[in-house]
Amino acid sequence: MSLKGKVVLVTGGAGGLGEATVRQLNDAGACVVIADLADDKGEALAKELGDTVAYVHTDVLDDESVAAALDEAGKLGEFRYAVIAHGGFGVAEKVVNRDGEPATIDGFKKTVDLYLTGTYNVLRLAAARIAKLSPYTEDGERGAVVMTASIAGYEGQMGQSAYAAAKGGVIGLTLVGARDLAAIGVRVNTIAPGTIRTPLMELFGEEGLQKFAAAIPFPKRLGKPSEYALLAQHLLENTYINGEIVRMDGAQRFQPK
């Protein structure tokens, strides 16, 4: 199924994975709404890519904010797809630290809110909009959503309790989301990336990145945001992939630390 002329909402669209996805989908002929909080980056990206891309300041935890992004998607054309790729917050705490003190509950709540609650919020609001459209395949498909988990959702490392719980929640949401939305013809799939060379990871420097790469069987390097974007496009276009979590990790399995 071609994305040409369709509209895709990308949360976190000004960030590493999101920006690569915006570029890839726009190259594939889609119109794209960049839903993010990074105004300078989002506006600059939209200006660079032209009239088929729009930026909307979006808080994924705020219904009115998400609705405004969805409204903009409707203005661009036939809104059918969403890629949920936002990030930006996380805590590194063991459940109980060396001094015997428990981890902060606020850090756990904020992490779960952003990655899990925010994902669910965009999924439910986007799917409700897509449900109002007529099917565009003989099977009755109306649209599709790609969510983002992490291999930490399967084998979280020490100190990743909050992040692993949030991403594990996205993994658990995938199949039941696909089942819930089957009646309206909306597919739901998830990408679980390993260690990806995003701008945030670049802060570790080449020496640090090589250490990360040493733990990856093959290819012995960090993943590229563009590889995530290609997979996201495929999951939107392939109408028989539904309810799946696809690991994109070079066969990496996180060790305890």
Give the catalytic positions in this structure. 163
Phi-psi group of 185: left, alpha or beta (phi > 0 → left; psi -120 to 50 → alpha; rest → beta):
left
Query: Radius of gyration (Cα) for the chain, nearest Å?
Result: 18
CA atoms of 218 and 164, how far apart (whole Å): 24
Contacts of 204 (CB under 8 A, 6+ apart): 212
Cite the beta strand spans of the chain per DSSP E. 6-11, 31-36, 53-57, 78-84, 143-148, 186-193, 245-248
Would strands 31-36 and 6-11 be described as parallel, antiparallel, or unpaired? parallel
Query: Which residue has 């084998």 as its token pair?
Result: 155
Structure tokens at 1: 């199924």
CA atoms of 215 and 43, how far apart (whole Å): 37
Would strands 6-11 and 245-248 be described as parallel, antiparallel, or unpaired? unpaired
Q: Quickly count: other Cβ atoms within 10 Å of residue 215's Cβ.
A: 14
CA atoms of 199 and 161, how far apart (whole Å): 23
CA nearest neighbour of 44 among 14, 9, 70: 14
